[in-house]
């Protein structure tokens, strides 16, 4: 089954009860760009970051279709998910630092 990110986003916008114009304004993008996103099969990392500012749904690496990683035969599922969690935590902390830097630069 093909996952269409634009369709998922469109459904989330409709479920939010906000207009497309208001959603685009809240995301800091044009209405035309939001409609463009609705048509995309896969989102770029930049698109995901933009969308994540407003919508709490998760577009995990697997959900994005990028990484098919799974526990290796010789490692336990618990160890695999522990490593995955630590990796995501580091990426999250890095994104927080970048965000704070951007906020400081805008002032």
- d(C-alpha 34, C-alpha 40), whole Å: 10
Residue of 31 and 93 predicted with greater confidence: 31
Average pLDDT of 2-7?
Answer: 78
Q: Is the dihedral of CA 8, 13, 14, 20 positive or negative?
A: negative
Give the pLDDT confidence score for residue 73 in this predicted structure.
55
In three-state secondary structure terms, 18 is coil
* Strand residues in the chain grouped as ranges (E): none
Average pLDDT of 7-26?
Answer: 89
Tokens 């697997």 sit on residue: 62
Residue 75 contacts residue 69 (beta carbons within 8 Å): no
**pTM higher than 0.85, yes or no?**
no
31-82: per-residue pLDDT in tens? Answer: 999 999 999 988 888 888 788 877 765 555 434 444 445 555 556 778 878 8
């Amino acid at each position: 089954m093909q996952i269409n990110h634009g369709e998922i986003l469109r459904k989330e916008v409709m479920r939010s009860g906000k207009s497309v114009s208001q959603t685009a304004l809240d995301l800091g993008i044009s209405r035309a760009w939001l409609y463009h996103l609705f048509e995309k099969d896969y989102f770029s990392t930049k698109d995901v970051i933009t969308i994540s500012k407003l919508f709490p749904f998760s577009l995990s690496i697997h959900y994005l279709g990028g990484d098919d990683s799974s526990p290796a035969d010789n490692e336990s599922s618990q160890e695999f998910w522990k490593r995955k969690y630590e990796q995501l935590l580091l990426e999250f902390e890095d994104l927080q630092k970048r965000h704070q830097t951007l906020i400081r630069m805008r002032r």
